[in-house]
Structure 1
Amino acid sequence: MTLAPRAVLVHRRTEYEELLAHHGTPGQAAFFLSSRGRSVAEVEARHRRQGEALARAAAAVPLDWRRTRVERADLPRFLFEPEDVVVVVGQDGLVANVAKYLDGQPVIGVDADPGRNPGVLVRHRADALPALLPGAVARSAARHLDERTMVEAVADDSQRLLALNEVYVGQPGHQTARYRLAVTEAAAASRPVAEAAAEPQASSGVLVGTGTGATGWCRSAWLERGGPLDLPGAAAPALAWFVREAWPSPATGTSRVHGLLDPGRQLVLTVESDRLVAFGDGIETDALELTWGQTVRLGVAATRLRLMT
């Protein structure tokens, strides 16, 4: 017997909910905001709009479907199923937060607060869901999916991380990171990188980003360099990488500070610090822990975000 599709509604706590969790009562939250020149009314209004969007999204789920909700903080512990249709209600960044935990499930981005979000990834209003949800599981669904490239980081101890925008590798506090950097063929992933092929570096860390991430952190690094290369498109199977603030010294070089990676190539970092981390899309609490001598390989992921257009 085939399981019915399951709608997974993904959301995050609103600013108002966070204020209540911290201050205890609506009155205390209002007093805190007023003491800093802000009105609780605008925060309550955004909270109400998200609640309404979530309610409309839940009401749009077909009666014969299964359904559940998951808050952003619980995503690392949530088990997505192959039959899921993921409905992200919130901001563009929330789509990036959930993408790393998926394996091909279709995603519908719902803008909970139109006018405040760019709407690049949350393209739809909740009122469109009655038509979008059945279409997400129809045979013709592939024609309505925008597939976006993701970046993958894999450590030599099998730790693995996916990201939609970018992966950062460096010190947790963004201080000087020491490592050896090389660009290799993906087919050579099982072989160690020859020391002569890797450049020792000291920098503020390394960014490896997708075309989706080319509008954010990676674009900042790209602009600082004066646009030295063409950034990939969102669907292009390529990544851009940048070394942040590489430091030249007798022991460290700066000859490799940016480049592009196609599916056949990987960026390889071998750690020469007590501790480095690799995290994706700004979520520092979900990071790979890397210690002296470990190697991490970054490249185009086989998994892609499948976003309903």
Structure 2
Amino acid sequence: MSLAPRVVLIHRTTEYEELVAHHGTHGQAAFFLSSRGRDIEEVAERHRRTRRALAEVTSAIPLTWRQSRVERGDLDRFLFAPEDVVVVVGQDGLVANVAKYLAGQPVVGIDTDPGRNPGVLVRHHPADAATLLPAALAPRTGVDELTMVEAIADDTQRLVALNEIYLGAAGHQTARYRLGLEGDGGVVEAQASSGVLVGTGTGGTGWIGSVWRERGGGLRLPGPTETRLLWFVREAWPSPSTGTTHVLGQLTASTRLCLTVESERLVAFGDGMETDALELTWGQSVRVGVAGTSLRLIG
């Protein structure tokens, strides 16, 4: 007998909850915000909208289905199952936070604050949940297969991200390394920079898009489902021993960017989650390219 589907509701602690937890009471939190020119009512109203959205989505779950609720900070300790339907209730960034922990489960993004969130990944309203949940398991449901990026170190450490992967020094200080493209005739350049950024088409709405615009947009941004990545070296520094000619490019499904560490310690982290990073030491190498898995986002 097969298991009933399980809905996994992903959410994050609201700003209001964090303020009250830190200051002890609503009144003390209100006083703190007012001293900085902010009104707690705006923060509290966003909190109420989030709670209403969670309640509405929860009530839409079929009675025969199982359900779990996971806060963002607990994602690295939660075990997802193949039969799960993942429902992200919150902001676009929360979808990116959960993507690295999935293996093909369908994802439904619910926007708790329309007009404030871009709605690139949280595309639906809470009222849509009753229709979307059963449809998520239907074979003909429209699904976008969003390309992801992965970094694999020579000691088998692996990191996957939806938007981008950053490789560099912790604290974004000067990183020293050797950089080259796999299968590019052995062309490798020693560099000193603020790090290397490798991003997807989905990341084009975030950090990688910002760097792309700063560089003048000479390369075409990939689409979210396109199996192509862009990479940029941030603030490469020229010197007698380091170069600046190998500072941007694109990767297809068959190419990899290879970085060999020449600093005491570098890190690689994805989607801004610096607390969940690969640790890389002198002489280690890491390969970055299109991930073998994608995020299945319900359109």
Using the size of structure 2 for normalisation, the TM-score is 0.98
Identity %: 69
Matches within 5 A, 1:23-42: 23-42=23-42
Of residues 276, 280, 303, the one that matches 2:270 is 280
* Root-mean-square deviation over aligned CA pairs: 1.2
Q: Distance in 1 between matches of 2:70 and 2:88?
A: 10
Confirm or deny that 1:254 pairs with 2:252. no
Q: Distance in 1 between matches of 2:242 and 2:139?
A: 54
Q: What residue identity is the alignment partner of 1:254?
A: T
Confirm or deny that 1:57 pairs with 2:51. no
Deviations along 1:208-258, one digit per CA (max 9) or x if unpaired, are 000000121112221222112111111100100000011111111111100
Q: Distance in 1 between matches of 2:257 and 2:114?
A: 38
Confirm or deny that 1:211 pairs with 2:184. no
Using the size of structure 1 for normalisation, the TM-score is 0.95
Q: What residue identity is the alignment partner of 2:152?
A: V
Confirm or deny that 1:75 pairs with 2:65. no
Give the SS at the match of 2:36: coil
Counterpart position of 2:162: 164
Deviations along 1:37-83, one digit per CA (max 9) or x if unpaired, are 11111111000000000000111110010100000011111111000
Deviations along 1:95-144, one digit per CA (max 9) or x if unpaired, are 11111111110000000111111111101011111111001112323xx1
Matches within 5 A, 1:1-309: 1-141=1-141, 144-185=142-183, 197-309=187-299
Q: What residue identity is the alignment partner of 1:159?
A: Q
Q: Distance in 2 between matches of 1:118 and 1:270?
A: 37
Q: Distance in 2 between matches of 1:11 and 1:87?
A: 9
Deviations along 1:20-52, one digit per CA (max 9) or x if unpaired, are 111111111111111111111111100000000
Q: What residue identity is the alignment partner of 2:268?
A: A
Q: Distance in 2 between matches of 1:120 and 1:215?
A: 8
Q: Distance in 1 between matches of 2:251 and 2:188?
A: 16
Q: What residue identity is the alignment partner of 1:99?
A: A
Q: Distance in 2 between matches of 1:209 and 1:180?
A: 19
Give the SS at the match of 2:136: helix
Structure 1 unpaired stretches of 5+: 186-192
Count of aligned pairs between the two proteins: 299
- Which aligned segments of 4 or more residues in structure 1 are displaced greater than 3 angstroms? none
Q: Distance in 2 between matches of 1:179 and 1:13?
A: 38
Q: Distance in 1 between matches of 2:31 and 2:210?
A: 38
Give the SS at the match of 2:224: coil
Q: Distance in 1 between matches of 2:73 and 2:268?
A: 19
| Aligned-residue offset at 1:296 | 0.8
Structure 2 unpaired stretches of 5+: none
Counterpart position of 1:188: none
Give the SS at the match of 2:182: strand
| Aligned-residue offset at 1:197 | 3.0
Q: Distance in 2 between matches of 1:21 and 1:181?
A: 45
